[in-house]
Amino acid sequence: MSPLNSLMTNRSRVAITVLTTLALGAFTYGHAFAVSPPGVLRDAWDSSWAIYGLAVLGVFLVYRWWALLPAIAPAAITVYLYNMTDYVAPWREEPIGPTSFSDQPVLYVLFVIAGIILEAAILSVGLLLRAAWEWVRSGRRGGSPDSS
């Protein structure tokens, strides 16, 4: 058994997943309004690799399929802002997609699902890294547990 698995309880896994969801949601919400904190934080905020790196690390630590659920947060925030509020992007006045669910709802739903799948694919890098790490660790102990 991996030392990470023995140290992590289900509560800590849920807490990491919730924090990952909040981080991705806050990142999406902040970028929608072009919020940028001053100083060094601006560089981290403007770099999506930093927030996604933390999200991938969270998936790596949790190592459960449901750790990919935070992939729904950016799509949910975007759908909420564009369709349930009077939000207008600060840099653009013309609509860039369907302005409501009544304008081509099937295409809009497919677009949202494709966004969620892309986010899940990005986060699944954490699962792949953890599986590789577990495989390397089991190889160092002299073989797989099934070889006994």
List pLDDT tens digits, range 27-49: 888 777 765 555 555 655 566 77
Q: What pLDDT does residue 124 have?
A: 93
Asked whether 24 and 73 are in contact (CB, 8 A), the reply is yes
| First and final C-alpha spacing in the chain | 15
Share of the chain above pLDDT 70, in %: 70
Highest mean predicted confidence (pLDDT) among 4-18, 97-111, 133-147: 4-18
Q: For 34, what's the count of Cα atoms within 13 Å in the CB-facing half-sphere?
A: 6
Residue 105: alpha-carbon gap to chain centroid: 25
What gap in Å lies between CA 10 and CA 3, rounded to an integer?
A: 15
